[in-house]
Chains A and B, each alone.
Chain A
């Protein structure tokens, strides 16, 4: 068991190393943009934040219980959700395809790693590792503005201090990570879909995966006169707008069951394609 964990850990490490540019550059760019926007605002048009504005912000962040106040920084972290989604989709599209393109596929296949393990390493990377890479950036982007504003808010007599800022930023980051991986599990069919085309396509896997979605939607409208598929895709990709929900209730919901079953079928297809697509 320990040996298998070591092996799986090595597969995850390999994914992070191989896609390091994508995994590090995207959160860096998003973080820099967000911090730039914040500081341009507070040093520009919002430079002279009025006493009342600071008091209002302090009342939102300082007075309510931590659990309620955390909604504000969590909302501020929203731009990271589509960034994680897009990073994951790009990663999923290229990860299996790239192996075949540079012919390293044959080397990976010469290792005692099953196709199912190889596919699962990609899934774990998309659902857990990519959000984990983003987590310190999210924390940084929440902490910097909160710490910057904390002295002014404290002076305004709101009772909001640096300690509270740190707690809020940490709490919001942990919650953000929980929601993100939960959404990742709910999006398992999407992950399976893109991995399937990454394993199958001879070229342009992204276009194949996206084109097939449009084709299926059109076929449904044309043949069945319904838009269930479009509705489902819209629902399942809600990570783009970041779904805040009850974590345990979502984890043990029928939605999650359907996502796991459908995702499992598509991932099995991806493992099969990886092996026999010669």
Chain B
């Protein structure tokens, strides 16, 4: 089971359309020069984005980086400038038609509290013609969610499970998750992602996840998107990340050599120097100490620190 899941994740688009079978990966999301301002605040500053069909992409960035704005733009919930195509449609012109193809979970609190879970299924069944009621019932049967209890009376974890069951019963090609496990305890968070991977993801569907809890989704991802100050600062596959970036715990006698090699980021960890390099041959690094692929969270910090460093250098040059 684990192997087949891994195969599905590492071969994005494997079960997708003609282009994929011919070895060419189709992009379900294409964005060029997306811009959005709220007064003087520039939320999106020329976002360029391509998301391949069948991938699981993590949209990662600090607070206020523009993650939710990007996702809202993809869903047609806000108006943005620039070229944008999702599932072959412009979300700004055809949001409701796009929702036949796209599902999203914004966060745990958005289901209508006055409804019971049965009423919710009744409504979605009549409104969404790609919703499979039987599948939703089966998924809910594996949970402890009562059918006749109002949603406002359910726990946060139950509401999330209910929302996920509804979404998983919709035959959509793109699922957008914006901080889906915010405020949930670790049991529910783990169950959420396990169900997503085991019962929903089939290699044909595309998932975009935005979250602060990078460590929890790292093992799911096939693609990384780092966003900062309204711009995509890193866009690469996990495979490319493993090839391009190396983290090394430097041996004490190699500290000077490690610094000379120009790490993109370095830190002290329990008295040991840990450096992250990008675009440096692995064999050059392996002589410095124990080399490994950096964790996404560490790469994120390294990359953003690098960005800030470049910006402050630029500012000094300008002054």
Question: Interface residues, chain A, CB within 8 Å of chain B?
Answer: 3, 6-7, 9-11, 13-14, 17-18, 102-115, 117, 275-276, 278
Contacts and interface: CB of A to CB of B under 8 A. Distances in A.
B78 A278 contact: yes
Nearest to B116: A17
B124 A7 contact: no
A107 B127 contact: no
B106 interface: yes
A110 B104 CA distance: 6
A272 B188 CA distance: 37
Given A103-B109, A107-B111, A276-B79, A10 B129 contact: no
Interface residues of B, number: 30
A3 B128 CA distance: 10
Interface in B76-104: 77-79, 95-100, 103-104
Interface in B159-176: 163
A109 B176 CA distance: 13
A59 B285 CA distance: 108
A14 B97 CA distance: 21
A260 B115 CA distance: 34
B113 A112 contact: no
B110 A111 contact: no
A250 B317 CA distance: 75
Contacts of B106: 103, 106-107, 110
A200 B114 CA distance: 23
Contacts of A109: 75, 77, 95, 99
Contact of B112 (A9, A11, A107): A107
A109 B124 CA distance: 12
B113 A104 contact: yes
A109 B163 CA distance: 14
Q: Which 6 A-B pairs have the closest CB atoms?
A: A10-B126, A114-B96, A104-B112, A112-B99, A106-B106, A106-B110
A5 to B, nearest CB: 10
A10 B123 contact: yes
A111 B104 contact: no
A13 B109 CA distance: 23
B119 interface: yes
B110 A103 contact: yes
Contacts of A102: 112-113
Contacts of B110: 103-107
Given A104-B110, A104-B112, A112 B127 contact: yes
Contacts of B97: 112
Contacts of B98: 112
B72 A278 contact: yes
Contacts of A103: 106, 109-110
Contact of A114 (B95, B103, B112, B115): B95
B112 A275 contact: no
23 contacts: A7-B126, A10-B126, A14-B123, A17-B114, A17-B115, A18-B114, A103-B106, A104-B110, A104-B111, A104-B113, A106-B110, A107-B106, A107-B111, A109-B99, A110-B104, A112-B97, A112-B100, A112-B128, A114-B95, A115-B95, A275-B77, A275-B95, A278-B78
Nearest to A116: B96
B96 to A, nearest CB: 4
A102 to B, nearest CB: 6
Given A112-B127, A275-B77, 5 more contacts: A102-B113, A104-B112, A106-B106, A114-B96, A117-B96
B78 A276 contact: yes
A10 to B, nearest CB: 3
A105 B111 CA distance: 9
A123 to B, nearest CB: 17
Nearest to B124: A111
A112 B96 contact: yes
A113 B126 CA distance: 11
Contacts of B115: 17
A10 B115 CA distance: 13
Contacts of A17: 114-115, 119
Contacts of B78: 276, 278
Nearest to A117: B96
Contacts of B126: 6-7, 9-10, 13
Interface string B5-46: 000000000000000000000000000000000000000000
Nearest to A112: B99
Residue in A7, A106, A278 whose Cβ sees the most chain B Cβ within 10 Å: A106
Contacts of B163: 107
Nearest to B112: A104
A110 B112 contact: no
A7 B78 CA distance: 24
